[in-house]
C-alpha cells in the first residue's frame, strides 16, 4: 500500500510547496530539496491533513537546513 502513489499527489505537492517555499528558502534550501521533502512526506503520510504534513515537512526542512 505504501508503494501506491496518491492519485492527487501532484496537486497536493504543489499546494504544500507553495506553503513551504518561503520557509525552506529562509533555511537555505533550494526548490529541489523542498520538493523532495514534500514528496517524501506525502508518500509517508498518505491519509493525513495538510496541516500535519506541513508540520512534518518543516521538521525535515529544519534538519536539512542545519546539515
The pLDDT of residue 1 is 43
The pLDDT of residue 56 is 98
For residue 14, give its domain range.
Answer: 9-66
Q: What is the pTM of this model?
A: 0.87
- Has residue 7 got a pLDDT over 60? yes
Residue 1 lies in a domain: no
Number of structural domains in the chain: 1
Residue 4 lies in a domain: no
Residue 61 lies in a domain: yes
The pLDDT of residue 8 is 87
Residue 37 lies in a domain: yes
Mean pLDDT of the 4-27 span: 90
Answer whether 12's CB lies under 8 Å from 6's CB: yes
C-alpha distances (whole Å) from 40 to each of 10, 37, 55 are 12, 5, 13
Residue 3 lies in a domain: no
The pLDDT of residue 31 is 97
Amino acid at each position: 500500500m505504501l508503494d501506491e502513489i496518491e492519485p492527487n499527489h501532484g496537486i497536493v505537492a504543489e499546494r504544500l510547496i507553495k506553503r513551504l517555499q518561503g520557509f525552506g528558502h529562509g533555511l537555505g534550501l533550494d526548490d529541489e530539496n523542498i520538493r523532495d521533502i514534500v514528496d517524501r512526506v506525502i508518500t509517508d503520510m498518505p491519509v493525513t491533513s495538510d496541516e500535519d504534513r506541513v508540520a512534518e515537512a518543516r521538521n525535515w526542512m529544519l534538519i536539512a537546513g542545519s546539515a
